[in-house]
Amino acid sequence: MSNVEPLAAPARSGDHAAMPARDCPLREGILEIPGEIALYHGGRLEGVRIAWRLIGAASAPVVCALGGISAHRRVCGTDDPRESWWSEIAGPGRPLDPAHLCILSFDFLGGSGESSPAPEASFPSISSYDQAEVLLRLINHLGIKSLKAIAGGSYGGMVALAFGELYPERVGHLIVIGASDRAHPMATAWRSIERRIVRFGIETGHPAQAIELARALAMTTYRSSEEFAARFAGAPAREAGTLVFPVERYLMARGRAYAGRYRPESFLCLSESIDLHRVDTTRIFVPTSAVGVREDLLVPLADVRAMVARLPSGRLYEISSVYGHDAFLKETEPLRAVFRSALEGSS
Amino acid sequence: MSNVEPLAAPARSGDHAAMPARDCPLREGILEIPGEIALYHGGRLEGVRIAWRLIGAASAPVVCALGGISAHRRVCGTDDPRESWWSEIAGPGRPLDPAHLCILSFDFLGGSGESSPAPEASFPSISSYDQAEVLLRLINHLGIKSLKAIAGGSYGGMVALAFGELYPERVGHLIVIGASDRAHPMATAWRSIERRIVRFGIETGHPAQAIELARALAMTTYRSSEEFAARFAGAPAREAGTLVFPVERYLMARGRAYAGRYRPESFLCLSESIDLHRVDTTRIFVPTSAVGVREDLLVPLADVRAMVARLPSGRLYEISSVYGHDAFLKETEPLRAVFRSALEGSS
């Protein structure tokens, strides 16, 4: 899988318009980076492996799609749609359509996918700049001269900004949803407590129970007060001697589902990476479409506005969503307008 | 201390205007409730003891002041002001001035003070109605015909509403700050995770470490994003092999300070009591001044507005405060206007 033809041919829009996603060409592979890579926050990683995935016609322009810290290389087009993290936004008829685009993604360095480090390794601090470096190695490896765009939500938006700052000649447009140039201290507050819960669980020998709790807490920050008010107004029920409130039952179910899929070390590593993220907005010359969500508790709209004001070539989209920070996963129609404008405008 | 003269004499405003708080008459005692009390959510408590405190002239009208779940009977006038929980709002020259008023408070049933249950007892579910019942027993015991007002912030505001619904003839006005007729599901989400952290710590034999984490989480909900953005923009520091962010250091310091003072069982009991709180607003005929804070993450302004719209005799004050939910502890001048209007208007 290491030899792939150059993919940066001009767009031939409409060539594959009738092709259902499951028939879209799909390529996957592991990039083995030779030697060491130097990490932005210090230290080196040797023998780094990056698991990548491409879906769409080889001749189509390439858009890299990156999600939150629990996202992975399967953006869309899996047999079970639940195994794709962006199935509301990417896929046939969606804003990112593999009939017209080739969609690239990878498992984050330090994440729970098949990229490095190995689960048993100790995890160094990893920067959004390091993920950008990995993406550069990956497009070099795949023979992609230039990405048409990087579309990133949450942590993926931070990586998009980092790549745009470092390698402006390799990407035509950044689409950044629910991310800013740095983490907000309130968001850092919640994430640092989540990390302490996980470390507390590791130290006391109950990592799975701890990551359930940490994920439950994270879920409160991914959604909005408005959504919870509409869904969880009911009375508590007694379970095993303790009262359990409707919202609590929901959060713990989400936490349990997550604990089975995610390594505590990966959670610690990528959660910290968000809080370490800090790019120099004035040096990001790539045209950037930034989407801020009024109900986002983690990335306040004011922060997205302030970032766009400092971007040399930024455009701000403000949307409302009961999904809060998770709007990037859910709001197909508002994002369609953003993607259409961004992808038409870039080369 | 069980015989106290009736205190509901007419106000003699100005009588003690020059008297510094430390010279205000101070009375404290323990009310021992004979027999059992029936709890609102079921079950009975026997031999209940309630630790109370009165500060101010015996002839002055009595205002009961109640705070959040970690508040206690010492409202103001302690030798060390840090031992009073409401020293910014109550005291000489403050909106609640013991020169003109007699300020009553008590340690909440189920709390970490000297009221019941004993620390070693198992804690039943306790309602804001139960706290109101305790307050009734207390004013009966003290010979107080009618309270001029109950001024409550956070949980104390919930207790004020519960008392107003049950015993309208025993109170002239309710001043309710950062509280509503029921808990918001997002606030319940955060508190239920805090309780699960504490129970996780109890089960794994590390209750103090768990209550530190739970309190750190609670602190994020007591303050505002705006305050954290202004205070904690700096870079992290490495401590014992782990990066610690400025906001994280602050939160954990607050958590540690709290863990030394608060029993895990009390935290569980009163935190749950907030989430169980639900009063019938349409039956609260006592004139009520409700203060909503725009930046309050726990009690959204929209909920306070909606409550006031349902109150037969409610008045809404909207304020902005970087202290968010904790505005009730901090915003002396905005609250002075509210207290003046409420206390002048009530008999």
- Between the alpha carbon of residue A78 and those of residues A55, A73, A111, B11, the distances in Å are 10, 11, 20, 76
The reported pTM is 0.92
Which residues in chain A are closer than 8 Å to B186, comparing Cβ atoms?
220, 225, 228-229, 247
How many beta-carbon contacts under 8 Å exist across A and B?
123
Q: In A, which residues are within 8 Å of B275 by CB distance? A: 236, 245
Could you tell me if B319 lies within 8 Å of chain A, comparing CB atoms?
Answer: no
Please return the burial class of A305, using the count of CB atoms within 10 Å of its CB with bins 0-12, 13-18 and 19+: middle
Residue from the list B186, B217, B229 with its beta carbon closest to the beta carbon of A185 = B229
Chain B interface disruption, residue of A198, A220, A269, most B CBs within 10 A: A220
Among residues 194-223 of chain A, which lie with CB inside 8 Å of chain B? 196-197, 199-201, 204-206, 209-210, 213, 216-217, 220
Does domain A16-184+279-345 fall under CATH 3.40.50.1820? My reply is: yes
Every domain of chain A with CATH number 3.40.50.1820 lies at 16-184+279-345
Confidence of residue B345 (pLDDT cuts 50, 70, 90): low
Contact B248 A220 (CB under 8 A): no
Within 8 A of A248 by CB-CB distance, chain B residues are 188-189, 192-193, 196
pLDDT by residue (tens digit) across B38-57? 999 998 999 999 999 999 98
Set of chain B residues whose Cβ sits within 8 Å of the Cβ of A247: 185-186, 188-189, 192
Q: What is the pLDDT of residue B162?
A: 98
How far away is chain A from the Cα of B87, in angstroms, using its nearest Cα?
27
Residue A189 is nearest to which of B193, B197, B228, comparing CB atoms? B228
Q: DSSP character for A148? A: S
- Give the distance from residue B291's alpha carbon to the nearest chain A alpha carbon, in angstroms: 20
pLDDT of chain A, 347 residues: tens digit per residue: 333 333 333 333 333 333 344 457 999 999 999 999 999 999 899 999 999 999 998 889 999 999 999 999 999 999 998 999 999 999 999 999 999 999 999 999 999 899 998 666 677 899 999 999 999 999 999 999 999 999 999 999 999 999 999 999 999 999 999 999 999 999 999 999 999 999 999 999 999 999 999 999 999 999 999 999 999 999 999 988 889 999 999 999 999 999 988 889 999 999 999 999 999 999 999 999 999 999 999 999 999 999 999 999 999 999 999 999 999 999 999 999 999 999 986 54
* Residue B15 pLDDT grade (very low, low, confident, very high; cuts 50, 70, 90): very low
* Residue in chain A lying closest to B251 (CA): A189
Q: Taking CB atoms and an 8 Å cutoff, what residues of chain A touch B294?
A: none
Provide mean pLDDT across the span B95-111: 96
- The residues of A carrying an active-site annotation are 154, 296, 325
> A234: nearest CA in chain B?
B185
Kindly tell me the number of DSSP H helices and DSSP E strands found in chain A: 10, 12
Chain A, 226 to 285: residues with Cβ < 8 Å from chain B are 228-229, 231-233, 236, 242-248, 251-252, 272, 275-276
Nearest CB to A229; choose among B185, B216, B236: B185
Q: Which of B186, B190, B206 sits opposite A204 (nearest CB)?
A: B206
- Nearest chain A residue to B122 by CA: give it: A241
Residues of chain A with CATH 1.10.1740.110: 185-273
For B80-96, the pLDDT digits (tens) are 989 999 999 999 999 99
What fold does the segment set B185-273 form as a domain?
Rna Polymerase Sigma Factor; Chain: A (1.10.1740)
Specify the amino acid at residue B320. S
Task: State yes or no: is B296 an active-site residue.
Answer: yes
Instruction: Looking at the complex, report in whole angstroms how far the Cα of residue A37 sits from the nearest Cα belonging to chain B.
Output: 22
**Per-residue confidence at B17, pLDDT binned at 50, 70, 90?**
very low
Q: Among the listed ranges A178-192, A296-310, B14-28, B285-299, which one has the minimum average pLDDT value?
A: B14-28
What pLDDT is attached to residue B118?
Answer: 65
pLDDT digits (tens, 9 = 90+) for B158-171: 999 999 999 999 99
Q: What percent of chain B has pLDDT over 70?
A: 91
Q: What is the 3-state secondary structure (H, E, C) of chain B?
A: CCCCCCCCCCCCCCCCCCCCHHHCCEEEEEEECCCEEECCCCCEEECCEEEEEEECCCCCCEEEEECCCCCCCCCCCCCCHHHCCCCCCECCCCCECCCCCEEEEECCCCCCCCCCCCCCCCCCCCCHHHHHHHHHHHHHHHCCCCECEEEEECHHHHHHHHHHHHCHHHECCEEEECCCCECCHHHHHHHHHHHHHHHHHHHCCCHHHHHHHHHHHHHHHHCCHHHHHHHCCCCCEEECCEEECHHHHHHHHHHHHHHCCCCHHHHHHHHHHHHHCECCHHHCCCCEEEEEECCCCCCCHHHHHHHHHHCCCEEEEEECCCCHHHHHHHCHHHHHHHHHHHHHHCC
Residue in the block written with tokens 């004993």 = B118
**Do the chains contact at B220 and A190, CB–CB below 8 Å?**
yes
Residues of B in contact with A216 (CB under 8 A): 193, 196
B16 is catalytic: no
Q: Average pLDDT, stretch B197-210?
A: 96
pLDDT, position A58: 84
Confidence band for B112, pLDDT divided at 50, 70 and 90: confident
